[in-house]
Amino acid sequence: MAVRKTLSMAAIQISRIMRPDDANIAGNVHGGTILKMIEEAGGIISTRHCNSKSGERCFAALARVERTDFVSPMSIGEVAHVSAEITYTSKHSVEVQVNVMAENILTGAKKLTNRATLWYVALSLKNVDKILEVPPITYERKEQEEEGKKRYEAQKLERLETKHKVDNVILPIVNPEPHTVGYSQSSLIHLVGPSDCTPHGFAHGGVTMKAMDEVAGIVAARHCKTNIVTASVDAINFHRKIKKGSVLTVSGRLTFTSNKSMEIEVFVDVDPFVDDTQGRYRAASAFFTFVSLNKEAKPLPVPQVVLKSEEEKKRFEEGKGRYLQSKAKRQTEMNSLTQ
Amino acid sequence: MAVRKTLSMAAIQISRIMRPDDANIAGNVHGGTILKMIEEAGGIISTRHCNSKSGERCFAALARVERTDFVSPMSIGEVAHVSAEITYTSKHSVEVQVNVMAENILTGAKKLTNRATLWYVALSLKNVDKILEVPPITYERKEQEEEGKKRYEAQKLERLETKHKVDNVILPIVNPEPHTVGYSQSSLIHLVGPSDCTPHGFAHGGVTMKAMDEVAGIVAARHCKTNIVTASVDAINFHRKIKKGSVLTVSGRLTFTSNKSMEIEVFVDVDPFVDDTQGRYRAASAFFTFVSLNKEAKPLPVPQVVLKSEEEKKRFEEGKGRYLQSKAKRQTEMNSLTQ
Amino acid sequence: MAVRKTLSMAAIQISRIMRPDDANIAGNVHGGTILKMIEEAGGIISTRHCNSKSGERCFAALARVERTDFVSPMSIGEVAHVSAEITYTSKHSVEVQVNVMAENILTGAKKLTNRATLWYVALSLKNVDKILEVPPITYERKEQEEEGKKRYEAQKLERLETKHKVDNVILPIVNPEPHTVGYSQSSLIHLVGPSDCTPHGFAHGGVTMKAMDEVAGIVAARHCKTNIVTASVDAINFHRKIKKGSVLTVSGRLTFTSNKSMEIEVFVDVDPFVDDTQGRYRAASAFFTFVSLNKEAKPLPVPQVVLKSEEEKKRFEEGKGRYLQSKAKRQTEMNSLTQ
């Protein structure tokens, strides 16, 4: 009886068809898609287990993933079956073992693609800094508990070691001084996937604009650390098509601040991996203006940008020109409306 | 009659409820979400128009977006109504004007949030480098055509100007030499949104791992420019929780290459914007191993990494150690299986 | 032995945590999210079954969904377990029955939220217009086959009827007066992208149902301006496949209100841009019933619809007929349970 209860409590299976967005252009599913499903199954099963006795409600937070091998690639159209089982519990930790099978539903062929081991700790819902006790599981055989304990001790040691290492990391800070251009400067890379594209295999212009707005927003948030929203976007020209499978590098830097707005210049550069004959090229650039809002959606003052180089000062003056020009234009429009 | 046909052909409306992932933590919809919807409406209406006469099939590619102002912020739960209309056609271009209204379906209140103008060109489906002629639209009043022509001439001039500027951009290449560490080094930033999080407001571990795999994959693709897949991931430790609204910076660099594999070190650094008292911290790091596959899914040779600094040489030797150790471990497992 | 094979072949379970984007602002999961998961499970199990004998490879296309009731609402953070089983096969059709359970992993509470029945046909991968034969399943008891046959004959008749009925609808002009049909009527367009489709390039039936539920939900919210949830969906027939790259226009209008429910009729029209030879066609239509909930998830009164035209009055009477019929049916079922 005890064994049956343990198994039914301690097993879950997540299944899903692999879609074009889960894979690269060659049709191979990204390792990251599988890792995400593995952790979803692990999180469900360990949260459920940690709440299986009465007492304080908690959720399971991922503490460690053991080394994971991808035994064979998975393809679009195959069904990923991710099954998770709790295999060991210590006072404060849960060990989950996960198997991933790929099933070709046309041929019926199944193959193992992954095996993973994850460690979770139970955190109180009321106070997320409080670690709670984990209910023990029942083992079918004595050796299962002993082997689990060995794995637990080994990973504990390694966690302590890396914790020490991580705590002593000095992050490479490009420019430590707040409100400088270097401080808020940001960039992201984005792999142009199937859902980003027209049926003919070119990125929708809207996808590029969304990525540009995202980078500009992060620059603005880094600069003023408040709730920021897009106020306007300058004209953007798209001179070249962007092919599926390309990698976009989108970078943004602060150029100008007025009392209540920030101007951010954003560049989009493209690496067309699918097309060897072509090198990296600039696909678009634009100026985004952001404002900072308080809880009543009223504009807040924006910290003045600190300029460090002649280049930055030149760009600031150009930004000021654009700012004054668009302010004057708005004024003219207002006047013509109220006449 | 002509007018009616023009209007029914040349008008479209896209409506969608704004969801948590469309907005920042304060509930304001990202400008990028709206820009993406605007371009989707523009793309549909202009593709439809360009195919409205018999002849070669084509799709409309975005050439330019005019300056766009965000008049008022939109919130989660509001319905965005994006309506697009074709307002001018030249021989090869279509002008689309788009209005965005936000409707609060609980109060019935509607407000204008955006007005945008987009320019498209028609590209042949058979030969995407061939620009096709655009069928003319019918104007209700003569002045509409004249004003459209003025807008067309003005944007044409600006497009030419920026084309000249963009063609002369010299992209800042950190390290131009292929196969060096600097050449393939990559990083992305990711804003931790609601769908990345548990109901308690912390990022799922799987979200972090997916972003790590994405960066590692781009480093691998940049290094060997072929179809690459994840072969294994080292143990990863998660020492600190990541809050909703944080910004992840995920960076990857090549550390080691064997004949048929690449090792990439990936770091995750966190800016917890929502929490003023805490600075940037390192949340995780791991080694990913990628292999390169040909069309029959057989491993291809990997170009040897070119090392430039003492640091890179040291990391290569450490990577070689990990590679030999895991190779020996696999050998032992194989032997024990065949005994 | 035969039974065992049947069960292992003919059962699948899909599980997933409900995320913020799966729900409305009040935290209730959209009926459309659940319908989409139901259809994914149905599509996997029937495609797998239809390919279980050697011969021409095929995929299962959704032909019909029987009337579906949403027994109790699901919330963000709960785990949806969708289990599907093949319960009948005719020469060319597969019947799949699906159960949806919501599990609160904190309290361990589980509740049934849905039961659905779906019908699939097997289409050849080489020639998608060719319907293939379906391998028969093994029944444990003779009555199972007989009852299945009755269900098969009944739905076949209804499918033929609606195929005949599918006609043109002209949506009336927007009417600003609250609680009229024109006031709440809504439509959206959706471009069928790669991730909406099977690997063979046709939209998953679940994608269409999700869009239908979204429109019906907006109509319901506009009418009663409160937190609304899907209570049931009438049978839906899918007479034609929808190709990747098509544009769906999904429109909804209020047909009937009782004291505590609204009935909304939803149409799906398809523009197959990718296919020159075909004009716009109606792909599906269905009646959705919504209820309005207060914060304790108890039903609220619904404002009476204001009817303006003879057509609207006729549709109201028809809706009343469906309402009384389904109420009588529920009463009969209740009585048979308590006898």
Cβ-Cβ contacts under 8 Å, A21 against chain C:
194-195
Nearest CA among C286, C309, C35 for reference residue C165: C286
The residue of chain A with its CA nearest to that of C193 is A195
The region that residue C291 occupies, defined by phi over 0 for left and psi between -120 and 50 for alpha, beta otherwise, is: beta
Return d(Cα B14, Cα B18) in angstroms, integer. Answer: 12
Mean pLDDT to the nearest integer, A13-34: 86
**Residue B274 phi, psi dihedral angles, 5° rounding:** -70, -15
Chains that touch A (3 or more CB pairs under 8 A): B, C
CB C293 within 8 A of CB C229: yes
- Could A44 and C14 be called an inter-chain contact, meaning their C-beta atoms sit closer than 8 Å? no
CB C290 within 8 A of CB C230: yes
Query: CA triplet A181, A185, A191: central angle to 5 degrees?
Result: 160
CB C18 within 8 A of CB C73: no
Say how many CA atoms lie within 13 Å of B330 toward its Cβ: 11
For residue A189 the two structure tokens come to 């890379």
Cβ-Cβ contacts under 8 Å, A48 against chain C:
103, 105, 108
pLDDT in single tens digits along all 339 residues of chain B:
333 334 345 577 778 888 888 888 778 888 888 998 998 889 888 988 988 887 888 888 898 898 888 888 898 888 898 999 999 999 999 999 999 999 887 777 889 998 999 999 999 888 888 999 999 999 989 999 999 999 999 988 888 877 766 666 655 545 568 899 988 888 888 888 888 887 778 888 888 999 999 899 989 988 988 888 899 998 888 878 888 888 898 999 999 999 999 999 999 999 887 666 677 888 888 999 999 988 787 889 999 999 999 999 999 999 999 999 988 888 887 777 565
Cβ-Cβ contacts under 8 Å, C194 against chain A:
19-21, 194-195, 197
Q: For chain B, list residues whose CB is within 8 angstroms of any CB belonging to chain C.
A: 12-17, 19-21, 40, 44, 47-48, 51, 57, 76-77, 79, 105-108, 194-195, 197-199
**Residue B187 phi, psi dihedral angles, 5° rounding:** -150, 155
Return d(Cα B215, Cα B279) in angstroms, integer. Answer: 23
Nearest CA among A295, A146, A157 for reference residue A227: A295
Residue B213 annotated among the catalytic residues of the structure = yes
The residue of chain B with its CA nearest to that of A273 is B225
Return d(Cα A334, Cα A94) in angstroms, integer. Answer: 64
Nearest CA among B290, B328, A45, A107 for reference residue C56: A107
Asked whether the predicted pLDDT for residue A174 surpasses 80, the reply is no
Query: Which member of B28, B69, B213, B227 is catalytic?
Result: B213
CB C252 within 8 A of CB C223: no
CA distances from B222 to A190, A246, B286, C49 (A): 13, 11, 19, 42
* Residue the block writes with tokens 């003779």: C142
Cβ-Cβ contacts under 8 Å, B215 against chain A:
189
CB B312 within 8 A of CB B181: yes
For residue C260 the two structure tokens come to 């505590």
Return d(Cα A41, Cα C325) in angstroms, integer. Answer: 42
- Could C273 and B77 be called an inter-chain contact, meaning their C-beta atoms sit closer than 8 Å? no
Query: CA triplet B213, B216, B218: central angle to 5 degrees?
Result: 110
Cβ-based neighbours of C4, under 8 Å, separated by 6 or more: none
CB C217 within 8 A of CB C231: no
Looking at residue B276, its pLDDT comes to: 60
Q: Say what percent of chain C tops pLDDT 70.
A: 90
CA distance C221 to chain B (A): 6
Looking at residue C22, its pLDDT comes to: 87
Q: Which residues of C293-327 are buried (b: 16+ CB within 10 A; e: fewer)?
A: beeeeeeeebeebbbeeeebeebbeebeebbeeee
Mean pLDDT to the nearest integer, A141-156: 93
Number of Cβ atoms within 10 Å of the Cβ of A307: 18
- Could B209 and A295 be called an inter-chain contact, meaning their C-beta atoms sit closer than 8 Å? no
Amino acid at site A31: G
Domains of chain C: 2-140 (3.10.129.10), 181-338 (3.10.129.10)
Confidence of residue C101 (pLDDT cuts 50, 70, 90): very high
Confidence of residue A67 (pLDDT cuts 50, 70, 90): confident
Asked whether the predicted pLDDT for residue A272 surpasses 90, the reply is no
Asked whether the predicted pLDDT for residue C166 surpasses 90, the reply is no
* Residue the block writes with tokens 């209140």: B109
CB B14 within 8 A of CB B41: yes
- Could A158 and B33 be called an inter-chain contact, meaning their C-beta atoms sit closer than 8 Å? no
- Could C48 and A105 be called an inter-chain contact, meaning their C-beta atoms sit closer than 8 Å? yes
Can you give B122-141 as a three-state secondary structure string?
EEECCCCCCECCCCCCCCCC
Return d(Cα C319, Cα C315) in angstroms, integer. Answer: 6
Question: For B313-324, what is each residue's pLDDT tens digit?
Answer: 999 999 999 999
Chains that touch C (3 or more CB pairs under 8 A): A, B
Asked whether the predicted pLDDT for residue C2 surpasses 60, the reply is no
CB A242 within 8 A of CB A283: yes
Determine whether C221 is exposed, middle or buried from the number of CB atoms within 10 Å of its CB (0-12, 13-18, 19+).
buried
User: Please, what sign has the CA dihedral across residues C142, C148, C149, C150?
Assistant: positive
User: Please, what sign has the CA dihedral across residues A118, A119, A122, A125?
Assistant: negative
- Could A48 and C17 be called an inter-chain contact, meaning their C-beta atoms sit closer than 8 Å? no
Cβ-Cβ contacts under 8 Å, A105 against chain C:
44, 47-48, 51
Nearest CA among B321, B110, A65 for reference residue C183: B110
Percent helix, strand and coil across chain C, each to the nearest 5: 35, 35, 35
* Residue the block writes with tokens 């560049």: A267
CB C29 within 8 A of CB C73: yes
First-to-last alpha carbon distance for chain C, in angstroms, is 37
Looking at residue B195, its pLDDT comes to: 83
**Residue C96 phi, psi dihedral angles, 5° rounding:** -120, 130
- Could A205 and B39 be called an inter-chain contact, meaning their C-beta atoms sit closer than 8 Å? yes
Return d(Cα B264, Cα B216) in angstroms, integer. Answer: 6
Closest CB to A35 among B64, B69, B210: B210
Query: What does DSSP assign to residue C260?
Result: S
CB A89 within 8 A of CB A134: yes
Length of chain B equals 339
CA distances from C308 to C169, C185, C311 (A): 17, 14, 8
* Residue the block writes with tokens 């024109």: C182
Which residues are A283's β-sheet partners?
A: none
Question: For A234-253, what is each residue's pLDDT tens digit?
Answer: 888 887 888 888 889 899 99
The residue of chain C with its CA nearest to that of A45 is C105
Closest CB to B202 among A61, A215, A239: A61
Return d(Cα B332, Cα B326) in angstroms, integer. Answer: 10
Confidence of residue A186 (pLDDT cuts 50, 70, 90): confident
Return d(Cα B319, Cα B264) in angstroms, integer. Answer: 9
- Could B14 and C189 be called an inter-chain contact, meaning their C-beta atoms sit closer than 8 Å? yes
Question: For C133-150, what is each residue's pLDDT tens digit?
Answer: 999 999 999 999 999 999
Question: For A85-131, what is each residue's pLDDT tens digit?
Answer: 999 999 999 999 999 999 998 888 899 999 999 999 999 988 888 99
Query: Which member of C22, C196, C213, C269 is catalytic?
Result: C213
Closest CB to B105 among C21, C218, C276: C218
CA distance B266 to chain C (A): 28
Looking at residue A87, its pLDDT comes to: 94
Question: For C262-292, what is each residue's pLDDT tens digit?
Answer: 999 999 999 886 665 677 888 888 999 999 9
For helices A31-50 and B205-224, what crossing angle results, to 10°? 170
Closest CB to C21 among B20, B105, B199: B20
- Could A16 and C14 be called an inter-chain contact, meaning their C-beta atoms sit closer than 8 Å? yes
Q: What sections of chain B are H helices per DSSP?
A: 2-9, 31-50, 142-167, 181-184, 205-224, 310-338
Looking at residue B121, its pLDDT comes to: 92
Q: Say what percent of chain A tops pLDDT 90.
A: 40
- Could A24 and B230 be called an inter-chain contact, meaning their C-beta atoms sit closer than 8 Å? no
Q: What is the DSSP string of B300-335?
A: PP-PPPBP-SHHHHHHHHHHHHHHHHHHHHHHHHHH
